[in-house]
């Protein structure tokens, strides 16, 4: 480092010790002495914030959906842009459920309303329909200063909480929802982490344990690592279409009681990454189990509008809980999460979401309101967009036909893509895929030859990471290794979104299955 002499370094490195009273203990001392030592070697002070000194909980966080494979995919995209030759002409990011990135067009009415809120001068232009204008005026009247640019209440705009509650009531066949139990959030992820944050306490054997499905959506493992909570795995049954079995829940719980205080049970329905849709009976069983065992229920229901398989139907935990009657309906604590990022609208970028809490202690609800107030408020454009999602055009409204047309087209295409994906994967030797009943992903199991496992071990990679990396390098297809979600030992999977347009998806599936065949041959 030019211009920095050792004597100057010594000058400042020595001074802090001078400020300590003689003999006073300093936990900094050994660290600083070591730092000074290293500095002497290379003429540089050691950094204050290093891998060694940083928060160890953050270091443990892993998030496969945007992990190393995605970093590599972005690099490859840049290399392609620079004209570097590859065996493919574009990178297909099938790693994440991001509808618009895959070419899905926004639902017109949603965007019109938010644009009108942004530029109220558009209200006097004939460019947008009247129902969009009415909706925008209604939202603006509920905003502080009639502006999306003002902070809202930290729990979200009151009117929108009310609209969400009415939406939940319609969804649940009239079962009541109190707007005071609805907290808007910065996407569902934010709400999930916030509720977990409330729940995590204790030390050592008393540390909060949280039961999560395996395979899971890695937000859960990441949040638990960050909060230093204990992750307790229960395994979904791949042989029975990723069913949730209460016997397995009980096994996991009893085992966990030996090393932590299990207090929370997380359910993802429809499943991410696994795509199953739970039956009403299964949900009842889970609620009964949670009640018996004293577990707080967290129901991640962000894919509630994404159900495709014949005979499958979404049942909300809230509805089943209420229909079970007392004591369940009066006592079982539940938090249910939803989002504007998935469904038919796929507006991930707006970060709109909410949690409904049920049977939550009123004092804790106050603490929740206090906690969210520190971040001031969820993004207001996202709140506005969410409002349109939960109170869409009604029959007779000028935009009704177009809105329904656009919505149904998206859902119909998704159902076709779910079937196509399942069919093509199951035609391929060495790939087995459960039906994609719901959500936006396929999570096929792949067989990998023994020599591939050896090669992966040599590279220090999980075998399915090795497979996915090779797939990416040779075909430009980016999918996420099953190891990022968790899976039974000795099994290998990947998660792939079904969102690309039908023709592109077909090509992708064909290239992928062909690559698997070639890979299998290469390592056999």
Closer to a second copy by CB, 143 or 446: give it.
143
Q: Which one of 26-34, 451-459, 475-483, 504-512 is the stretch in contact with a second copy (CB under 8 A)?
A: 26-34
Closer to a second copy by CB, 100 or 488: give it.
100
Q: Residue 253: CB partners within 8 Å, gap ≥ 6?
A: 211, 232, 234, 262, 293, 295
| CA distance linking residue 211 with residue 213, whole number of Å | 7
CA–CA–CA angle 256, 260, 266 (5° rounding) = 65
Output the smallest distance, CB 434 to a second copy, in A: 26
- The residue count for binding a second copy (CB under 8 A) is 133
504-523 binders of a second copy (CB under 8 A) = none
Structural tokens at position 192 = 């999930």
Q: What is the DSSP letter of 240?
A: G
Closer to a second copy by CB, 62 or 169: give it.
62
CA 497 to chain centre: 13
**C-alpha to C-alpha distances, 493 to 114, 266, 446, 496, 506, nearest whole angstrom:** 40, 22, 6, 10, 19
Count of all residues that appear for the chain in the document = 524
Closer to a second copy by CB, 147 or 313: give it.
147
Considering only 34, 38, 47, 170, the residue that binds a second copy (CB under 8 A) is 47
Beta carbons within 10 angstroms of residue 58's beta carbon: 10
135 touches a second copy by CB under 8 A: no
Q: Name which of 353, 389, 358 is nearest 191 in CA terms.
A: 353
Contact 495, 444 (CB under 8 A): no
Output the smallest distance, CB 122 to a second copy, in A: 7
Considering only 10, 20, 33, 40, the residue that binds a second copy (CB under 8 A) is 20
218-257 binders of a second copy (CB under 8 A) = 219, 222-223, 226, 250, 253-254, 257
Q: Which residues pair with 298 in a beta bridge?
A: 266, 335
Structural tokens at position 91 = 């990178």
| CA distance linking residue 515 with residue 520, whole number of Å | 8
Half-sphere CA count of 130, side-chain side, radius 13 A: 4
Q: Residue 491: CB partners within 8 Å, gap ≥ 6?
A: 238, 445, 482
405 touches a second copy by CB under 8 A: no
Considering only 136, 307, 309, 380, the residue that binds a second copy (CB under 8 A) is 380
Closer to a second copy by CB, 224 or 424: give it.
224
Q: What is the CA radius of gyration of the chain?
A: 26
Considering only 175, 241, 248, 349, the residue that binds a second copy (CB under 8 A) is 349
Considering only 326, 395, 460, 490, the residue that binds a second copy (CB under 8 A) is 326
Output the smallest distance, CB 328 to a second copy, in A: 9
Considering only 2, 87, 458, 490, the residue that binds a second copy (CB under 8 A) is 2
Considering only 10, 40, 364, 502, the residue that binds a second copy (CB under 8 A) is 364
138-197 binders of a second copy (CB under 8 A) = 143-145, 147-154, 186-187, 189-190, 193, 197
The site string for a second copy over 251-290 (x = CB under 8 A, - otherwise) reads --xx--xx-xxxx------------------------x--
Output the smallest distance, CB 380 to a second copy, in A: 3
Q: Name which of 326, 318, 276, 324 is nearest 299 in CA terms.
A: 318
62-81 binders of a second copy (CB under 8 A) = 62-63, 65-67, 74
410-449 binders of a second copy (CB under 8 A) = none
98-127 binders of a second copy (CB under 8 A) = 98-104, 106, 111-112, 114-115, 118-119, 122, 125, 127
459 touches a second copy by CB under 8 A: no
Burial class (CB in 10 A: 0-12, 13-18, 19+), 285: middle
Q: What is the helix (H) or strand (E) element at residue 440, kind and residue range?
A: none
Output the smallest distance, CB 4 to a second copy, in A: 4
Considering only 312, 359, 404, 419, the residue that binds a second copy (CB under 8 A) is 359
Considering only 10, 37, 55, 247, the residue that binds a second copy (CB under 8 A) is 55
Q: Which one of 321-329, 390-398, 439-447, 478-486 is the stretch in contact with a second copy (CB under 8 A)?
A: 321-329
361 touches a second copy by CB under 8 A: yes
Contact 229, 501 (CB under 8 A): no
Q: Which of helix, strand or coil describes residue 488?
A: coil
Burial class (CB in 10 A: 0-12, 13-18, 19+), 490: exposed
Output the smallest distance, CB 188 to a second copy, in A: 10
For tokens 């603006």, name the residue.
140
9 touches a second copy by CB under 8 A: yes
For tokens 């719980």, name the residue.
253
Q: Which residues pair with 230 in a beta bridge?
A: 209
């Amino acid at each position: 480092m030019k211009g920095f002499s050792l004597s100057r370094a010594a000058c400042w490195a020595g001074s802090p010790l001078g400020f300590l009273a003689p003999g006073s203990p300093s936990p900094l001392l050994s660290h600083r002495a070591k730092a000074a030592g290293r500095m002497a070697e290379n003429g540089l002070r050691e950094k204050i914030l290093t891998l060694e000194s940083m928060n160890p909980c953050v270091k443990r966080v892993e998030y496969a959906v945007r992990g190393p494979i995605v970093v590599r995919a972005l690099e490859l995209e840049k290399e392609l842009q620079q004209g570097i030759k590859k065996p493919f002409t574009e990178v297909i990011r099938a790693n994440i459920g991001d509808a618009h990135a895959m070419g899905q067009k926004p639902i017109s009415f949603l965007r019109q309303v938010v644009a009108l809120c942004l530029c109220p001068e558009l209200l006097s232009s004939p460019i947008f329909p009247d129902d969009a204008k009415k909706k925008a005026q209604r939202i603006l009247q509920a905003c502080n200063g009639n502006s999306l640019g003002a902070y809202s209440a930290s729990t979200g705009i009151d009117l929108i909480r009310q609209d969400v509650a009415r939406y939940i009531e319609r969804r649940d066949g009239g079962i009541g929802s109190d707007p005071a139990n609805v907290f808007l959030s910065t996407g569902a992820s934010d709400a999930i982490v916030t509720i977990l944050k409330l729940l995590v306490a204790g030390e050592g054997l008393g540390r909060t344990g949280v039961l999560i499905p395996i395979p899971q959506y890695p937000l859960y493992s990441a949040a638990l690592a960050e909060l230093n909570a204990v992750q307790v795995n229960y395994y979904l049954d791949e042989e029975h279409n990723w069913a949730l079995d209460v016997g397995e829940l009980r096994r996991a719980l009893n085992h966990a009681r030996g090393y932590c205080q299990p207090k929370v049970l997380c359910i993802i329905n429809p499943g991410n990454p696994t795509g199953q849709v739970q039956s009403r009976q299964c949900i009842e069983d889970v609620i009964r189990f949670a009640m018996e065992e004293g577990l707080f229920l967290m129901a991640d229901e962000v894919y509630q509008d994404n159900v495709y398989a014949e005979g499958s139907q979404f049942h909300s935990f809230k509805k089943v809980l209420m229909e079970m009657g007392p004591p369940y309906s009066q006592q079982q604590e539940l938090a249910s999460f939803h989002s504007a990022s998935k469904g038919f609208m796929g507006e991930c970028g707006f970060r709109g979401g909410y949690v409904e809490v049920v049977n939550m202690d009123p004092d804790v609800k106050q603490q929740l309101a206090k906690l969210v107030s520190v971040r001031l408020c969820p993004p207001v454009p996202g709140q506005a967009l969410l409002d349109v999602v939960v109170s869409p055009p009604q029959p007779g409204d000028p935009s009704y036909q177009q809105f329904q047309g656009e919505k149904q087209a998206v859902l119909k295409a998704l159902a076709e893509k779910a079937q196509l994906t399942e069919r093509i994967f199951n035609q391929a030797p060495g790939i087995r895929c459960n039906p994609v009943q719901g959500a936006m992903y396929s999570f096929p199991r792949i067989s990998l030859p023994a020599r591939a496992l050896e090669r992966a071990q040599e590279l220090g990679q999980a075998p399915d990471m090795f497979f996915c990396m090779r797939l990416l390098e040779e075909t430009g297809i980016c999918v996420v290794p099953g190891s990022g979600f968790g899976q039974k030992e000795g099994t290998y999977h990947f998660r792939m979104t079904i969102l690309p347009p039908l023709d592109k998806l077909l090509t992708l599936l064909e290239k992928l299955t062909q690559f698997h065949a070639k890979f299998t041959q290469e390592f056999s």
